[in-house]
Each structure stands twice: as C-alpha cells, then as structure tokens.
Amino acid sequence: MCGRYTIVTKLESIEKRFNVKTAQPELLIPNTNVSPGDKAPVITNQHPDILQFFHFGLTPFWAKKRMYFFNARAEGDHNKENNPQYSGAKGIVNKPSFRKAIRSQRCLIPADCFIEGPEKEKLSKPYVVYLRNGQRPFSFAGIWDIWTDKETGEIVQGFSIITTVSNKVTQKIGHHRSPVILHPDHEQTWLNSNADLGEITELLRPYDARQMNAYPIDPMIKNPRVNGLELLNPIGERLFPEQEFNLTQYLKLEGMGMTRARQRP
C-alpha cells in the first residue's frame, strides 16, 4: 500500500510541470508527511488544466458514512497472494467502490517521493522511495469521487492512489505492493475521459525499478501529526548504489522552504 507521501515542490514548478493553474494557491501547504485525511493537490480529468485540493482517502458517492479508501488495488480481488509476476485481469474495474471512478473519475496526484516500510514492520522501519535523476514532482495514478453527508450536507472530495504489484525496489524493502507511478508520456491518456478502458488498465503496472531508489529514515514519520524536511533525512545507506544525491537538500533548494519539524494542530 501507499499511505504516506511528500509534496513540497513550489507551486510555480507544479504548474509548469503539469501545465495547470491553481484557483486557490493558499491551499498548497508543503507537506512531507501527507497522510489519510489530509488535503493534497490533484489534477482531475474533469478539470485537467486546474490544480485542485481533495482529501487523501476516497469515499464512494453511494456510501452511507464517510470512508477513507486511500489505496485501490489494480487487481481488485485477484492476486490475493500479491505475486509480483502477476499480469492477469485488472479487477479494479469490477469493484463496487472503484468501478465508476476508474472509468470516468481519474486524476494525477503530484508527489516528490513516497514512504514505505516492510510488510510486517510497516512504518516502524520506513524508507523514502524516490525517482532518480531529479524526476520530481512525478504523478501517482489516482481516482476520485465526491461524497455528500446526508445529515450535515458536507461535500467531501476524496482520492485514492492505485497500487499494483511490487517492483525490485519495494520488494527489497520487503513490501508486497507499490503505487502506480505514471510516465509523463502517459499522464494525458490517464486524464482523457474518452480513453478506452483497456488502454487505461494497461497503465496499471509497476514503475521501472531502475529509475527508482530508496533509503531508510527515522520511524518518527509514522506519527501523522509530525512534519518537516528532517523526517526525510537518511539514517542508513541507499538500497542501490548511485552517484551522491541528497534528496532533503534538493527539496530545500527546489521546494517551499520547509526546514523544521512541526506538529499539526
């Protein structure tokens, strides 16, 4: 699964990268620990030229009470053993919570990196997973929905990150899933409301592990109320050797200047 990620890139850089404008720029708050329930930027197929802010955690429109589906399995009920070699049917198209959204309510979810841990230890042993060669922000493949609380009238716009089988990076971490990261060339297809469903499900595959890497960080990040670039400081070596690269320093230079931990209210 993918329940934590980071987005601190400056608004101008996000707008340029995804060719969008932001109607409410004040809502973009740098967040190194995006957690379920947080508001975060998305680009929907409904408004592909606008950066909007939805809640991390989708509630299906038909639900009687609010839910927080922050991940949606590409395989649906198939591949319950999470075999990384699985290449069969994409059962998400039949899941009641997601079958409408995967067809007509897709979105890009901008991110700088994501946080993952082993299947058993989870965020007690977290790793920062990032794309090599400064490929950020990138985009997760997401779906969205709008739910209305019938008692209060509150309207909640929420999104889920689609997950697929693990690649060599998440396998080495010890995790059984990985988020679907879209290649830039595929982002417009994902946002195309008229795209064939088969063309869409073909994109639900692991990202090229050769373009990714990861390193361990302090488990303090498992507290969703803690935030700050210090959370991303390495406490060990990267999984795979590469030229010297400091992700935290990059985000300080290219991001929004978030340099110290803070407690959320």
Contact 56, 159 (CB under 8 A): yes
Of 41, 90, 99, give the one whose Cα is nearest residue 69.
99
Output the 3-class SS for the chain. Answer: CCCEEEECECHHHHHHHHCCEECCHHHCCCEEEECCCCEEEEEECCCCCEEEEEEECECCCCCCCCCCECEEECCCCCCCCCCCCCCCCCHHHHCCCCHHHHHHCEEEEEECEEEECCCCCHHHCCEEEEECCCCCCEEEEEEEEEEECCCCCCEEEEEEEEEEECCHHHHHHCCCEEECEECHHHHHHHHCCCCCHHHHHCCCCCCCHHHEEEEEECHHHHCCCEECHHHHCECCCCCCCCCCCCHHHHHHHHECCCCCCEECC
How confident is the model over 216-231, as pLDDT tens digits?
Answer: 999 999 999 999 999 9
Report the alpha-carbon distance of residue 78 to residue 98 in Å, rounded. 15
Of 139, 125, 135, 162, give the one whose Cα is nearest residue 239.
125
Q: Is the pLDDT of residue 173 over 80?
A: yes
What's phi and psi for 206, nearest 5 deg? -65, 150
Burial class of residue 254, CB neighbours in 10 A (0-12, 13-18, 19+): middle
pLDDT band at 169 (very low <50, low <70, confident <90, very high): very high
Concerning whether 116 is annotated as a catalytic residue, the answer is yes
Task: Domain 4-263: give its CATH superfamily.
Answer: SOS response associated peptidase-like (3.90.1680.10)
Over residues 99-110, mean pLDDT = 98
The predicted pLDDT at position 249 comes to 75
Count CB-CB contacts under 10 A for residue 32.
27
Concerning whether 107 is annotated as a catalytic residue, the answer is no
Over residues 129-148, mean pLDDT = 96
Which of 2, 107, 113, 187 does the annotation list as catalytic? 2
Instruction: Give the end-to-end CA distance of the chain in Å, rounded to a whole number.
Output: 26
**261 beta partners:** none
Both tokens assigned to 193 = 């409301």
Amino acid letter, residue 98 = F
The predicted pLDDT at position 256 comes to 39
This prediction has a pTM of 0.94
Q: What percent of the chain has pLDDT over 70?
A: 94
Tokens 């060719």 correspond to what residue? Answer: 19
Q: Is the pLDDT of residue 265 over 60?
A: no
Of 49, 86, 61, give the one whose Cα is nearest residue 163.
86
Which of 75, 113, 116, 187 does the annotation list as catalytic? 116
Count CB-CB contacts under 10 A for residue 116.
28
Q: Is the pLDDT of residue 255 over 70?
A: no
**181 beta partners:** 140
The predicted pLDDT at position 253 comes to 62
Report the alpha-carbon distance of residue 115 to residue 112 in Å, rounded. 10
Q: Is the pLDDT of residue 96 over 70?
A: yes
The predicted pLDDT at position 125 comes to 98
Of 141, 114, 131, 138, give the one whose Cα is nearest residue 231.
114
The predicted pLDDT at position 245 comes to 67
